[in-house]
Structure 1
Protein backbone atom coordinates (compact mmCIF):
# COMPACT_ATOMS: atom_id res chain seq x y z
CA UNK A 1 0.00 0.00 0.00
CA UNK A 2 1.29 3.47 -0.93
CA UNK A 3 0.43 5.01 2.46
CA UNK A 4 2.86 2.56 4.10
CA UNK A 5 5.70 4.28 2.21
CA UNK A 6 4.79 7.69 3.60
CA UNK A 7 6.05 7.91 7.22
CA UNK A 8 3.65 10.62 8.38
CA UNK A 9 0.72 8.44 7.28
CA UNK A 10 1.99 5.18 8.76
CA UNK A 11 3.26 6.55 12.12
CA UNK A 12 1.68 8.68 14.83
CA UNK A 13 1.02 12.07 13.15
CA UNK A 14 1.66 13.85 16.47
CA UNK A 15 5.34 12.96 16.08
CA UNK A 16 5.67 15.65 13.39
CA UNK A 17 4.41 18.28 15.83
CA UNK A 18 6.21 17.05 18.96
CA UNK A 19 7.71 19.26 21.64
CA UNK A 20 10.53 16.91 22.67
CA UNK A 21 13.73 17.31 20.66
CA UNK A 22 14.22 13.52 20.44
CA UNK A 23 10.77 13.14 18.86
CA UNK A 24 11.42 15.96 16.41
CA UNK A 25 14.69 14.32 15.36
CA UNK A 26 12.90 10.99 14.91
CA UNK A 27 10.32 12.64 12.64
CA UNK A 28 13.09 14.26 10.61
CA UNK A 29 14.83 10.88 10.23
CA UNK A 30 11.59 9.22 9.12
CA UNK A 31 11.11 11.95 6.52
CA UNK A 32 14.44 10.96 5.03
CA UNK A 33 12.87 7.69 3.87
CA UNK A 34 9.82 9.34 2.28
CA UNK A 35 9.47 9.44 -1.51
CA UNK A 36 7.51 12.72 -1.23
CA UNK A 37 10.10 14.66 0.79
CA UNK A 38 10.90 17.29 -1.86
CA UNK A 39 7.26 18.11 -2.64
CA UNK A 40 6.39 18.15 1.05
CA UNK A 41 9.14 20.65 1.81
CA UNK A 42 8.30 22.84 -1.19
CA UNK A 43 4.63 22.94 -0.21
CA UNK A 44 5.44 23.78 3.40
CA UNK A 45 7.71 26.65 2.34
CA UNK A 46 5.04 27.96 -0.04
CA UNK A 47 2.37 27.82 2.69
CA UNK A 48 4.78 29.15 5.35
CA UNK A 49 3.73 26.33 7.70
CA UNK A 50 3.66 27.79 11.21
CA UNK A 51 5.31 24.80 12.89
CA UNK A 52 6.15 21.13 12.70
CA UNK A 53 8.41 18.88 10.66
CA UNK A 54 7.78 19.12 6.92
CA UNK A 55 9.97 17.56 4.26
CA UNK A 56 12.57 16.65 6.87
CA UNK A 57 12.94 20.24 8.08
CA UNK A 58 11.73 21.97 11.24
CA UNK A 59 9.41 24.94 10.80
CA UNK A 60 8.86 27.53 13.53
CA UNK A 61 6.90 30.67 12.77
CA UNK A 62 6.69 29.84 9.08
CA UNK A 63 10.44 29.52 8.48
CA UNK A 64 12.89 26.62 8.48
CA UNK A 65 15.09 26.52 11.58
CA UNK A 66 18.08 24.23 12.25
CA UNK A 67 16.62 22.79 15.46
CA UNK A 68 13.57 23.31 17.60
CA UNK A 69 14.28 24.81 20.99
CA UNK A 70 12.57 23.22 23.95
CA UNK A 71 9.74 24.89 25.79
CA UNK A 72 10.56 26.96 28.83
CA UNK A 73 14.09 27.78 27.76
CA UNK A 74 15.25 31.39 27.71
CA UNK A 75 15.53 33.11 24.34
CA UNK A 76 18.99 33.50 22.82
CA UNK A 77 18.72 37.24 22.23
CA UNK A 78 18.93 39.65 25.15
CA UNK A 79 16.12 41.90 23.79
CA UNK A 80 13.51 39.31 24.77
Structure 2
Protein backbone atom coordinates (compact mmCIF):
# COMPACT_ATOMS: atom_id res chain seq x y z
CA UNK A 1 0.00 0.00 0.00
CA UNK A 2 1.34 3.41 -0.93
CA UNK A 3 0.99 6.23 1.56
CA UNK A 4 1.90 9.89 1.49
CA UNK A 5 4.93 9.02 3.55
CA UNK A 6 6.26 6.55 0.98
CA UNK A 7 5.14 8.54 -2.05
CA UNK A 8 6.45 12.01 -1.29
CA UNK A 9 9.15 11.69 1.30
CA UNK A 10 12.81 10.99 1.12
CA UNK A 11 13.43 8.99 4.33
CA UNK A 12 16.73 10.79 4.87
CA UNK A 13 14.98 14.18 4.92
CA UNK A 14 11.76 13.53 6.83
CA UNK A 15 10.31 10.89 9.09
CA UNK A 16 6.72 10.13 10.03
CA UNK A 17 7.32 11.60 13.48
CA UNK A 18 7.71 15.04 11.86
CA UNK A 19 4.23 14.96 10.34
CA UNK A 20 1.43 16.35 12.54
CA UNK A 21 -1.12 13.86 11.20
CA UNK A 22 1.06 10.97 12.43
CA UNK A 23 0.81 12.12 16.04
CA UNK A 24 -1.39 9.50 17.69
CA UNK A 25 -2.79 12.04 20.16
CA UNK A 26 -3.88 14.45 17.41
CA UNK A 27 -5.02 11.92 14.77
CA UNK A 28 -8.71 12.10 15.73
CA UNK A 29 -8.77 15.86 15.13
CA UNK A 30 -8.32 15.36 11.38
CA UNK A 31 -11.61 13.44 11.03
CA UNK A 32 -13.71 15.00 13.77
CA UNK A 33 -17.30 16.18 13.35
CA UNK A 34 -16.65 19.22 15.57
CA UNK A 35 -15.68 22.40 13.69
CA UNK A 36 -13.29 23.49 16.48
CA UNK A 37 -11.36 20.22 16.19
CA UNK A 38 -11.10 20.64 12.42
CA UNK A 39 -9.78 24.17 12.80
CA UNK A 40 -7.19 22.88 15.25
CA UNK A 41 -6.16 20.18 12.76
CA UNK A 42 -5.80 22.84 10.06
CA UNK A 43 -3.48 24.82 12.30
CA UNK A 44 -1.35 21.70 12.89
CA UNK A 45 -0.96 21.34 9.12
CA UNK A 46 0.47 24.84 8.78
CA UNK A 47 4.05 23.78 9.47
CA UNK A 48 3.94 20.45 7.63
CA UNK A 49 6.52 19.98 4.86
CA UNK A 50 3.96 18.05 2.75
CA UNK A 51 1.01 20.43 2.94
CA UNK A 52 0.78 21.06 -0.82
CA UNK A 53 1.28 17.42 -1.85
CA UNK A 54 -1.22 16.27 0.78
CA UNK A 55 -3.90 18.71 -0.39
CA UNK A 56 -3.37 17.86 -4.07
CA UNK A 57 -3.43 14.14 -3.35
CA UNK A 58 -6.72 14.52 -1.47
CA UNK A 59 -8.19 16.46 -4.40
CA UNK A 60 -6.99 13.80 -6.85
CA UNK A 61 -8.53 11.02 -4.73
CA UNK A 62 -11.69 13.07 -4.00
CA UNK A 63 -11.37 12.38 -0.27
CA UNK A 64 -14.88 12.27 1.19
CA UNK A 65 -14.09 14.13 4.43
CA UNK A 66 -11.42 15.24 6.87
CA UNK A 67 -8.56 17.70 6.98
CA UNK A 68 -5.98 17.17 4.25
CA UNK A 69 -3.16 19.59 3.51
CA UNK A 70 -4.56 22.25 5.81
CA UNK A 71 -7.98 22.25 4.13
CA UNK A 72 -11.32 20.81 5.19
CA UNK A 73 -12.75 18.34 2.69
CA UNK A 74 -16.40 17.43 2.30
CA UNK A 75 -17.62 15.20 -0.53
CA UNK A 76 -14.29 15.48 -2.34
CA UNK A 77 -14.24 19.30 -2.34
CA UNK A 78 -12.52 21.89 -0.19
CA UNK A 79 -14.84 23.90 2.02
CA UNK A 80 -13.91 27.06 3.92
CA UNK A 81 -15.61 26.27 7.22
CA UNK A 82 -17.44 23.25 8.58
CA UNK A 83 -20.73 24.20 10.18
CA UNK A 84 -21.69 22.54 13.41
CA UNK A 85 -24.44 19.95 13.45
CA UNK A 86 -28.01 21.00 13.88
CA UNK A 87 -30.10 23.86 12.74
CA UNK A 88 -28.77 27.44 12.92
CA UNK A 89 -30.37 29.72 15.50
CA UNK A 90 -33.18 31.97 14.33
CA UNK A 91 -32.48 34.59 16.97
CA UNK A 92 -29.09 35.72 18.29
CA UNK A 93 -28.07 34.52 21.74
CA UNK A 94 -28.61 37.20 24.38
CA UNK A 95 -25.78 37.78 26.82
CA UNK A 96 -26.55 37.31 30.49
CA UNK A 97 -25.47 40.30 32.56
Q: Note whether the superposition's TM-score is higher than 0.5.
A: yes
Residue among 32, 47, 56 paired with 2:46: 32
Deviation at 1:68, TM superposition (A): 0.7
TM-score calculated relative to the size of structure 1: 0.84
Report the structure, 1 or 2, having the larger helix content: 1
RMSD: 1.4
Name which structure has the greater RCO, CA cutoff 8 Å, separation 6+. Answer: 1
Residue among 33, 37, 52 paired with 1:19: 33
TM-score calculated relative to the size of structure 2: 0.70
Which residue is 1:41 aligned to?
55
How many pairs does the alignment contain? 74
Question: Which of structure 1's runs of 4+ aligned residues deviate more than 3 A?
Answer: none
SS at match of 2:78: strand
Deviation at 1:69, TM superposition (A): 1.2
Long gaps (5+) in structure 2: 1-13, 89-97
Partners of 1:53 and 1:73 in 2: how far apart?
Answer: 23
Long gaps (5+) in structure 1: 75-80
Residue among 58, 61, 69 paired with 1:55: 69
